Amino acid sequence: MSEQAGRREPDGVEALYAEAGQWHVNAGGETIHAKRMPGRWRRIKWLTASVWLIFFLGPYLRWDGRQAVLFDIPHRQYHLFGATVLPQDFWMLSLLLLFFAILLAVATALAGRVYCGFFCFQTVWTDVFTWIEERLEGAPAERRRLDRAPLGPRKVGLRAVKHLAWLAIGFLTGFSFVAWFVDAPTLWWTFFTGDASTAAYVAVALFTVGTYLLAGFLREQVCFWLCPYARIQGVMLDRTTLVPAYDERRGEPRGRLRKEAGGAVQGDCIDCHQCVAVCPTGVDIRAGQQEGCITCALCIDACDAVMDKVGRPRGLVRYASLDELEGRSTTPMRRRPRVWVYTTILATALAGILYGLASLDAIELKVLHERAPLFVRLADGSIQNKYTLKVLNKTGEDMQVRIRVDGPPGLMLVGADAPLLARHGEVTPATLFLRLSPAALADESLPVRFVAAGERASGETLRTERESVFIGP
């Protein structure tokens, strides 16, 4: 043993073990009871979180006698105020996804995990759940005491009320989600009389349980271990990104506040741990930007309050970029090319969506030119091309649609004598032929334009057209 003791390297291995002891991996072993402090960012957080009221109240908006926003999956129709979007218009969805994906990237690149800290449902719901917890069970210290206390009538009562409240919020969340897909006022009736669809009950059940578990129990564990976005943000941040950060040069060396002057030189950080106490994910912002930080800025409120108390300037923890903290020069946002590139992409996607919504036709025509054969020579020598026309009727009524064609002189349309009955909400196919004498065939391929026109019961004429080609030998 003495020999072994002689081989020990106190600074090597032991230092590693000492460090391992400090590595605190938050794996949900103990519940984080974050302290709630009033402040500027706390107010902003409530404001941004209230965006989610749209989720709860939106389904009750009415427009033209029906739900303003209704994703009618059984009928494959999506009502957005005045516009009706059919699966055929779903190219707009890709633009919408592009818009939000870029928005997320932009926000993260410029100001860190703004979404995580202020808008994410996980953050917002957890915030509301812990708010309820605080109202019922008291401040963090009391909550910890209650956690440790044996099960008694008081604890059982408090816990029962808390879990019921959580489940109620979970239920409302699920119910509001389903209400976007069916008529909301009707759902309130059918859901409780047992007449709603199985899918509705399953969805509400899943949401209730999911919300209860995720916001009630998993909380910051979701951000640490489940959420992919939390993990990819590492590559989205850079030196110029504004994030809540601790000004190390001002704060260090940290140390407890001493009444009398003198002694060693001390930074502004009084090591009061308030920034850790308020953190909903339990990280220490003074260790720098890290995976656990959702940039909710609550530590800024906490630190500012302390700085006010000890009479030092605010902003020891503040929104700052790494460049700024290290004393490098910083460029204002409007002068950074990246801001403009991102803005351009966002504007393009938005313009595409707006154009799409504005140019939604009530009837739509697709023309498929037959490829096998591209053309045939008929007995009288003329050339015939075959086309499959698909008329999509997005209105709420059946309609007689007439087809005509614009093209080179002498072009004959065959098969369109009778109008086509286009049933509402459906695609009606029709096979048509174009004939042209070889003499009139100026080129191997000639442009033609099919025009479909129908009349609504109101007398309004709907018209749509589609380019195609006439192909000859």
Partner 1 sequence: MAENDPFPGEDNTGHIWDGNLRELRNPPPRWWMLGLWASILFVVGYGILYPFWPTADGYTKGLLGWTQIEEYRRGVAQVEAVRAPFEERIRGLTAADILADPELTQYTVASSKVLFGDNCSACHGSGGQGNPGYPILADDYWQYGGTPAKLVESIGQGRQGSMPAHGEILSATEIDRLARFVTELKSGEPGAEDGWSLYRAKGCVACHGQEGDGVVVRLPNGDVITVGAPSFRNGIWRFAPGGYESARYTITHGVNQPGRPGSREAVMPDFGASGRLGEQEVKKLAVYVHQLGGGL
Binders in 346-385 for partner 1, by CB under 8 A = 370-373, 376-381, 384
Find the Cα–Cα–Cα–Cα dihedral 44, 45, 51, 53, rounded to 10°.
-120
Number of Cβ atoms within 10 Å of the Cβ of 380? 7
Least CB distance to partner 1 at residue 368 (A): 12
Least CB distance to partner 1 at residue 138 (A): 26
The answer to the question of residue 86 lying near partner 1 (CB under 8 A) is no
Task: Pick one of 11, 19, 27, 358: the residue that binds partner 1 (CB under 8 A).
Answer: 27
Total residues interacting with partner 1, rule: CB under 8 A: 37
The answer to the question of residue 145 lying near partner 1 (CB under 8 A) is no
Going by C-alpha positions, the residue among 356, 357, 353, 339 that lies closest to residue 102 is: 339
Determine the Cα–Cα distance for residues 47 and 262; give it in Å rounded to an integer.
45
Residue that has been written with the tokens 């990246």 in this structure: 338
Least CB distance to partner 1 at residue 384 (A): 6
Determine the Cα–Cα distance for residues 455 and 473; give it in Å rounded to an integer.
38
Strand order in the sheet with 399-406: 420-422, 399-406, 445-455, 461-471
**Closest CB to partner 1 among residues 141, 414:** 414
Of 179-187, 240-248, 316-324, 422-430, which part binds partner 1 (CB under 8 A)?
A: 422-430
Tell me how far CA of residue 333 lies from CA of 56, 104, 107, 218, in angstroms.
35, 17, 12, 37
Tokens at residue 352, please?
A: 């595409």
The answer to the question of residue 404 lying near partner 1 (CB under 8 A) is no
Residues 6+ apart with CB under 8 A from 388: 367, 368, 370, 429, 430, 431
Determine the Cα–Cα distance for residues 388 and 176; give it in Å rounded to an integer.
43
Assign residue 361 a region (left: φ > 0; alpha: ψ between -120 and 50; beta: otherwise). beta
The answer to the question of residue 431 lying near partner 1 (CB under 8 A) is yes
Least CB distance to partner 1 at residue 383 (A): 10
**Closest CB to partner 1 among residues 313, 429:** 429
The answer to the question of residue 218 lying near partner 1 (CB under 8 A) is yes
The answer to the question of residue 221 lying near partner 1 (CB under 8 A) is yes
The answer to the question of residue 235 lying near partner 1 (CB under 8 A) is no
**Closest CB to partner 1 among residues 116, 214:** 214
Task: Pick one of 242, 243, 389, 420: the residue that binds partner 1 (CB under 8 A).
Answer: 420
Give the number of C-alpha atoms closer than 13 A to the C-alpha of residue 106, restricted to the C-beta side: 19
373 preceded by a cis bond (ω within 30 of 0): yes
Of 5-13, 35-43, 52-60, 268-276, which part binds partner 1 (CB under 8 A)?
A: 5-13
The answer to the question of residue 14 lying near partner 1 (CB under 8 A) is yes
Task: Pick one of 21, 150, 263, 459: the residue that binds partner 1 (CB under 8 A).
Answer: 21
**Closest CB to partner 1 among residues 16, 141:** 16
**Closest CB to partner 1 among residues 155, 369:** 369
Going by C-alpha positions, the residue among 365, 289, 353, 315 that lies closest to residue 103 is: 353
Residue 198 identity: T
Q: Footprint of partner 1 on this chain (CB under 8 A)?
A: 1, 4-5, 7-8, 13-14, 17, 20-21, 25, 27-29, 218, 221, 225, 370-373, 376-381, 384, 386, 418, 420-421, 428-431, 433
